[in-house]
């Protein structure tokens, strides 16, 4: 089966779900606002600049999940997705996913954001296959640590190759849509790399390499769709 791979944050979404989850917790006064926001914003800036220490970020972000009962977390998550994520699904995201499905290609979301945050978002977008940073659990609770290879930069390539081996597929005639220069390792692997509402570094790279540049935040998609 041919694959249509999609980054999530700032690609299918017109925003960053991981960053917004932190903002949601601050707004609800679940966590300390000024301290958390300062660190959260700094990690987001590091990501933008391509200098993010993924392990340090995960230790910071996932520690919150270990503090609360899963039932409480899932209740908060439901409100979060409804209030903050569904409104920022890019206008043409579902149309593009549907176009690939009609062509017989298998949509897969591949994201650095953890599965706790992204699981219901993938469901809302109608995508059955999700590769995300996995969370460690013990006795039915999150430990505050990640599990396995974080799905970030070169880790996306490794995680995807594991998944393809398990599902007996390949990158032949594959697509990958992303907004971020952090995804250059995977963009370089696919047959059809597409820069979606790209950051300046990725836009420049896409122009130099002749990759398609696309916006999912417009009212229509290009004629190929």
Is 128 noted as a catalytic residue in this protein?
no
Dihedral, CA of residue 56, residue 57, residue 58 and residue 64, to nearest 10: 110
- Residue 32: active-site member: no
CB half-sphere exposure, 125, CA atoms < 13 A: 33
Q: In angstroms, rounded to a whole number, what is the distance separating the alpha carbons of residues 9 and 19?
A: 9
Of 9, 16, 179, 183, which residue is the catalytic one?
9
Residue 47's nearest CA partner among 153, 193, 119 is 153
Q: What is the DSSP letter of 153?
A: T
Q: Pick the catalytic residue: 7, 16, 183, 199?
A: 7
Q: What is the DSSP letter of 219?
A: S
Question: Please, what is the Cα angle at 59 between 53 and 60, to 5 degrees?
Answer: 90
**H-helix or E-strand spanning residue 201:** helix 200-209
Give catalytic residues, as residue numbers.
7, 9
């Amino acid at each position: 089966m041919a694959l249509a791979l999609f980054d999530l944050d700032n690609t299918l979404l017109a925003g960053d779900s991981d960053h917004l989850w932190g903002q949601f917790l601050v707004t609800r006064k679940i966590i300390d606002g000024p301290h958390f926001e300062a660190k959260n914003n700094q990690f987001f800036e590091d990501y933008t600049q391509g200098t993010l220490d993924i392990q340090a970020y995960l230790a910071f972000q996932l520690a919150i999940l270990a503090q609360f009962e899963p039932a409480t977390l899932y209740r908060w998550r439901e409100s979060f997705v409804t209030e903050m994520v569904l409104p920022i699904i890019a206008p043409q995201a579902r149309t593009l996913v549907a176009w690939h499905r009609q062509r017989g290609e298998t949509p897969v979301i591949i994201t650095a954001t953890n599965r706790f945050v992204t699981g219901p978002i993938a469901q809302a977008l109608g995508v059955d296959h999700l590769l995300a940073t996995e969370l460690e659990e013990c006795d039915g609770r999150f430990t505050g640590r990640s599990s396995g290879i974080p799905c970030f930069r070169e880790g996306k390539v490794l995680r995807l190759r594991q998944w393809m081996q398990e599902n007996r597929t390949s990158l032949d005639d594959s697509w990958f849509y992303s907004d971020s220069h952090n995804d250059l390792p995977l963009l370089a692997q696919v047959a059809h790399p597409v820069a979606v509402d790209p950051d300046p570094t990725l836009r420049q790279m896409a122009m130099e390499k002749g990759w398609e540049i696309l916006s999912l935040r417009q009212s229509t998609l290009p004629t190929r769709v």
